[in-house]
Amino acid sequence: AARAGFVSSMAGSEVGEAVSELHDLRRTFTERALMAGTDLVVRPLMREGATPEQVAAMTLGDAPPSGDLRRLRARRRELGIPDGDDAPLVVDPTGATVGVDALPLHLRKARSYQVGVDANTSICRGQLAARYGV
């Protein structure tokens, strides 16, 4: 929580000593959050009639302002991917623009990550309710 790192945070704890940091794991989860966030921003555009060609050509500045868009920009910053208004809306976790030909598969993957997030959220809420009455 204090950004001390996993090894420092676990030093002397009852669960034992940590031998390595979690940077790679953290990056993997941030990349998945980027994909899930892409789904949350792009799916409404597609529902409203945007074509794949239009979505592939859009920038972040073209997307309507929302909490989901703010979170998507934050994930991109964490990964070192441009997050300004002129940056492409749909990119892969490396920051490469996703073209119209690759867009359908990319959006299916993004949707599957969002479904996973929703499922995990539901499980965690159920466990919290059962354990703590929250």
Per residue in 53-89, pLDDT (tens digit) is 999 999 999 999 999 999 999 999 999 999 999 999 9
Q: How many CA atoms lie within 13 A of 123 on its CB side?
A: 6
The total domain count for the chain is 1
The number of beta carbons lying within 10 Å of the beta carbon of residue 29 is 11
- For the stretch 101-112, pLDDT in tens is 999 999 999 999
**Domain extent at residue 18:** 1-132
Using CA atoms, how far residue 11 sits from 21, 23, 26, 124, in Å, is 12, 17, 19, 27
- Using a cut of 0.85, tell me whether the model's pTM lies above it: no
List of residues 6+ apart from 110 with CB closer than 8 A: 35, 36, 38, 39, 42
